Chains A and B, each alone.
Chain A
Amino acid sequence: MRPINQLNQILFLTIMSLIVPTAGVLAQGDHYANTGKIYTVIACVSVILIVIAIFLFYLERRIKKLELSASLDEIGNY
């Protein structure tokens, strides 16, 4: 179970690290209204987050497969 906990940690920290600074920046107001280009950066950061999330789901699927095969082997223990 250890790797999963660590991955949850990444996800949590990534989300926090995105929300906290974005909120601060958007609160500054009119600077970004001038060019609107900050949204490109936000889109790029979202892409990074989404790709990492897809990787996590892929990893989880493979681990689940292993868990299922393990539980079939040791069915007496469950």
Chain B
Amino acid sequence: MYGFIYQKWWKILTLLMLLYVFIAGFLVPLRPGILEVSESRVVGGDSLQVFVTTYNTQWQEGDLIQAFIKYDSVHIWSVPGVTLQRRNKLLLQGRLLGWRSNSRDQYVDATLILHHPRDGFMVMPSAFTITAGSGELEAPIWVEQLPQRAAWSWKFPFRSILYETIRNTFFHVAIWMAMFVLLVVSLVYSIKYLLNPRLEYDAITSSFAHVAIVWGTMGMITGSLWARATWGTFWTNDPKLNMSAVAMMIYVAYAILRASINDDDRRAQLSSAYNIFAFMAMIPLVIIIPRLTSSLHPGNGGNPALGGEDLDHTLRLIFYPAVIGYTLLGVWMASLLYRLRRIEIRNLIASLQD
């Protein structure tokens, strides 16, 4: 069974997968999207003159570009004057569709939708805040009249706030997933050790736990950098962040516990038992508690991740190999630690016999 760790094919597979992840993770472009509008507060019924800056668009003169302003599910206004300024800049002109004020709402958050035959739809939610003006609501355009969706292409989704950092799905999320797999292996071998006390099992447990700590540290640092780019701060008092910090501390305590005991059997016994508790503590801390409260972090408190629109097909095509790649790289690193540990144990026994 342990012959697996001496084989080469899966190590080459690991490297190829990670190579694919790094190359595709950087080279696949973002889908075209709307970066900003020059004026977001507009009055219904007034004449509209707004510049729209787009992202990753290579538009040329003569392209059929359509612009729509969506008030609600029924009222969608097709902007009559769409002029291309540059390959990533549009000018929208026209007399804005009126909007009737009622007693409850003084303004409406309207969505800007652009359509290009090659690039498909670009949507910017809450692009305009339209205050009630003199105009009346005109004849609505029904959703069925919008142009057809563009075909699937090899591109990452364009998300406001995230922008290019959506690529961190492969360099942050995947690392945490791999860490969970490594910790499960560690848990299984610590249970095996307690059932059948062989130092070999303990060596496997500790190797996997140590590599998992390395992976967790990597996940924390990359997450912190990502938070700086999206939330504006390296760390906030968010349940997901604080609880994962606590879980990491529990595993660091595992490493310290091991380092502080000299007797091999005693260390193996204590740390195996501790490892089971550490895993049982980590699951509610990292996975359950943040889901019960509200959290900024995707995947928690009514803020889903890895489901629906968050992980689209193109991301999946790179995300799953990334998870497998980091897991196998972790297994490789753990197997090296295990082999080293085994030689150390053998030397120790040999020196005791002398």
Cross-interface CB contact of B218 among A10, A51, A63, cutoff 8 Å: A51
Against B, the Cβ 8 Å flags (1 = close, 0 = not) of A1-38 are 00100110110011001101110110000011011011
Query: Which secondary structure dominates where chain A touches chain B?
Result: helix
Range of interface residues on A (Cβ < 8 Å): 20 to 34
Q: Is A75 in the interface zone, CB < 8 Å from B?
A: no
B155 to chain A, nearest CB (A): 13
Residue of B nearest to A51 (CB): B218
Residue of B nearest to A31 (CB): B56
Range of interface residues on B (Cβ < 8 Å): 35 or more
Residue of B nearest to A26 (CB): B26
Contacts of A21 in B (CB 8 A): 22-23, 25-27
Give residues of chain B (15-34) contacting chain A, Cβ–Cβ below 8 Å.
15, 18-19, 22-23, 25-27, 29
List, sorted by A's number, 30 A–B pairs whose CB atoms are closer than 8 Å: A6-B11, A10-B15, A14-B18, A17-B18, A17-B19, A17-B22, A20-B23, A21-B23, A21-B25, A22-B26, A31-B56, A35-B35, A37-B164, A37-B229, A38-B164, A38-B165, A40-B225, A41-B25, A41-B165, A41-B171, A43-B225, A44-B168, A44-B222, A47-B221, A48-B171, A48-B218, A48-B222, A55-B214, A59-B340, A66-B347
Q: Which residues of B contact A (CB under 8 A)?
A: 11, 15, 18-19, 22-23, 25-27, 29, 35, 53, 55-56, 162-165, 167-168, 171-172, 175, 214, 217-218, 221-222, 225-226, 228-229, 329, 333, 336-337, 339-340, 343-344, 347
